[in-house]
A = this chain, B = another copy of it.
Amino acid sequence: MSRSHGRRLGRAGIRDVAAAAGVSITTVSDALNGKGRLPEATRRHVREVADRLGYRPSAAARTLRTGKSGLIGLTVTTYGEEPFTFTEFAYFAEMARAASSAALARGYALVILPGSTRQSPYDVWSNVALDGTVVIDPSDRDPVVTELVRQGVPVVSDGRPCGDLPVTAWVDNDHEAAVTGLLDHLAAAGARRIGLLTGTSTDTYTRLSTSAYLRWCERNGQPPVYEAYPAHDPCAGAVAADRLLARPDRPDAVYGLFDPNGTDLLAAARRYGLRVPDDLLLVCCSESAVYATTEPPVTTLSLKPGRIGTTVVQLLIDAIEGTGGGRPVQRIMPTDLIVRASSQRRRPQTTISAPRAPEQHS
């Protein structure tokens, strides 16, 4: 049974299968991969023997030979010490979930990698064979991206690349349209002075959203009222929310760019005795479901991270497999304004009904 190969404990190689089936390794490979010219009988026989031996082809050997690993990198640009500090935790989680799902559906797996790279050629990045990489919020002249592209590895980014970063493709929301639409919505609900809670960092999301706000203010003859804070600091948000509502030119509506802004603003409003939505209209950008059940429920702008994750992966795999046509692609994805009580002057429905009325004796 055992060949000269001396049977490494528990693993059968292709040579073992070949020997056991009485054929050559070429035949085994062809039979299992559906290639070559083999009668169905031989294929079946080989498959049976392989099954019996519990044969698993070596991923490393296949990758070495074919140059395809079936692995896709996923990385997010980080600001602090931690490999992953997400200001948009729910966003990232959902995006990663969808991306992973889409990749799996096409036979690829996602590898989570750090945003930075050590200079040495022996960091994690070069220790894993990647067919391509997804980069979330790439920074200007990102060294990882530059290096990957130099190596000929396709890179697709979530978020427009800053500067002249040479990504293969990118996907992003239409942030300007989203902010404009949202401000129009608030204005239609009666807002006269809309404030903004924004960030101090220079990523494209913050930049585009803020400039869209400023332009909207200009077009509508409203003086901008905003507070900026370092978005990666969880405590700073609450302070900034407080500051915004403490201003002498207190806004009568606020849009918060980041996920926790909604609860922070709600808390700040309570402290100042402001009723939402009566005294203050509220919208924030969030993927979190909790805003459906806050008191009052808060209108949110969803960036649809699931759709983004799926699209990013599709584009990347298309590029990897050469299915994508070839030229660089950019795709703009729609956002979704989920209107709830916090942004409507006149509450749609004040009587509270139970999901299943407990007593229905009328």
Residues of chain A whose beta carbon lies under 8 Å from any beta carbon of chain B: 9-11, 32, 50, 54-64, 69-71, 82-84, 86, 89-90, 92-93, 96-97, 100-101, 104, 107-114, 121-122, 124, 126-129, 150-152, 234-235, 238-239, 241-243, 246, 260, 263-264, 266-268, 270-272, 288-290, 293-295, 352-356, 358-359, 361
Contact = CB atoms under 8 A, between A and B. Distances in A.
Contact of A359 (B58, B59, B124, B234): B234
6 contacts: A11-B151, A59-B128, A70-B127, A92-B93, A111-B112, A242-B358
A68 B259 CA distance: 40
A150 B54 CA distance: 9
Given A83-B101, A293-B267, A356-B235, A111 B113 contact: no
Contact of A260 (B124, B241, B264, B289): B289
A90 B61 CA distance: 38
Nearest to A93: B93
Nearest to A55: B121
Nearest to A361: B234
A290 B267 contact: no
A78 B9 CA distance: 31
Given A113-B109, A151-B10, A293-B263, A128 B56 contact: no
Contact of A83 (B60, B82, B93, B100): B100
A154 B319 CA distance: 35
Given A70-B124, A293-B263, A355 B151 contact: no
Contact of A60 (B69, B92, B235): B69
Contacts of A107: 124, 127
Given A58-B129, A109-B113, A121-B56, A295 B293 contact: no
Given A97-B84, A111-B111, A356-B264, A32 B128 contact: no
B63 A60 contact: yes
A9 B153 CA distance: 12
Contacts of A122: 32, 57
B61 A242 contact: no
A125 to B, nearest CB: 9
Contacts of A101: 82-84
B271 A352 contact: yes
A86 B98 CA distance: 12
A35 to B, nearest CB: 13
Contact of A354 (B69, B82, B242, B359): B242
Contacts of A69: 59-60, 128
Given A108-B124, A109-B111, A290-B288, A238 B355 contact: yes
Contacts of A267: 293, 355-356
Contacts of A243: 356
A101 B80 CA distance: 13
B59 A239 contact: no
Given A129-B60, A358-B246, A352 B121 contact: no
Contacts of A58: 64, 129
A288 to B, nearest CB: 7
A310 to B, nearest CB: 12
